[in-house]
Amino acid sequence: MNAAKRAEIFRRLQEDNPDPKTELAYDSPFELLIAVILSAQATDVGVNKATARLYPVANTPEAIYALGVDGLSEYIKTIGLYNSKAKNVIETCRILIEKHGSKVPENREDLEALPGVGRKTANVVLNTAFRQLAMAVDTHIFRVANRTNIAPGKNVLEVERKLLKFVPREYLLDAHHWLILHGRYVCKARKPQCGSCRIEDLCEYKHKTSDD
């Protein structure tokens, strides 16, 4: 895919959604961090329901740490893998309190040192909470990048690096959100909505059928 086509794709996505946001509900970098940890193998809708119960009661490292694993589990037990997530969140809160003055670190190294925080989670926090140029590649972004040919790659790290290289800089800060939303609602895994896609004429998807 050439640079002009990529630029036009993101121009249209920006035109349709000038101020894209994550669908996770949060009011602070800490709330976002916890929500993203909880979102692994879970839907944003499911996470938002759990945090809507949790955050009015506890939304700081100290308050959540005080709940303990069992106490926290009661608020998040509707989410998959809640036992292991509760342990990770409690340990993350302890580290934030003891090592970071209860603040969420604004750098990748310290973020990835937190339990339950991998590269993708760190990228979400860096980009969404701190507005840094970072690209979190989830299943939606991986699919869209490969299917459209915007930034094809065999693994998420390759796609991440290509997106950071190929997405025009003026669109890079919000590209993560546009691609996730496009993958979630239009460029779906099983049945992409090609006929109603804003960028269909620019897409290089090779396997369209009459049913698409």
pLDDT given at position 203: 94
pLDDT band at 24 (very low <50, low <70, confident <90, very high): very high
71 has a pLDDT exceeding 70 = yes
Q: Which of 207, 177, 179, 204 is nearest to 2 (CA)?
A: 204
Domain 3-20+134-202 has CATH 1.20.1340.10: no
194 belongs to an annotated ligand binding site: yes
Question: Average pLDDT of the chain?
Answer: 93
Residues involved in catalysis: 120, 138
pTM for the full predicted model: 0.87
63 has a pLDDT exceeding 60 = yes
**H-type helices in the chain, by residue range?**
3-16, 29-38, 44-54, 61-76, 82-100, 108-112, 119-124, 139-148, 156-166, 169-185
93 belongs to an annotated ligand binding site: no
Distance, in Å, from the CA atom of 45 to the CA atom of 140, rounded to the nearest integer, reads 16
pLDDT digits (tens, 9 = 90+) for 102-158: 999 999 999 999 999 999 999 999 999 999 999 999 999 999 999 999 999 999 999
pLDDT digits (tens, 9 = 90+) for 115-126: 999 999 999 999
Q: In this structure, what token pair is assigned to residue 122?
A: 């760190």
The CATH fold assigned to 29-129 is Endonuclease III; domain 1 (1.10.340)
pLDDT digits (tens, 9 = 90+) for 147-203: 999 999 999 999 999 999 999 999 999 999 999 999 999 999 999 999 999 999 999
212 has a pLDDT exceeding 50 = no
In b/e form, how buried is each residue of 31-61, taking b as 16+ CB within 10 angstroms? bbbbbbbbbbebebeebbebbeebbeebbbb
Domain map of the chain by residue range?
3-20+134-202, 29-129
Distance, in Å, from the CA atom of 126 to the CA atom of 130, rounded to the nearest integer, reads 5
187 belongs to an annotated ligand binding site: yes
Give me the residue label for tokens 């809160």. 93
Distance, in Å, from the CA atom of 110 to the CA atom of 105, rounded to the nearest integer, reads 6
Whether residue 118 contacts residue 127, with contact meaning beta carbons closer than 8 Å, is answered with no
3-20+134-202 with 29-129: one CATH topology? no
pLDDT digits (tens, 9 = 90+) for 72-98: 999 999 998 899 999 999 999 999 999
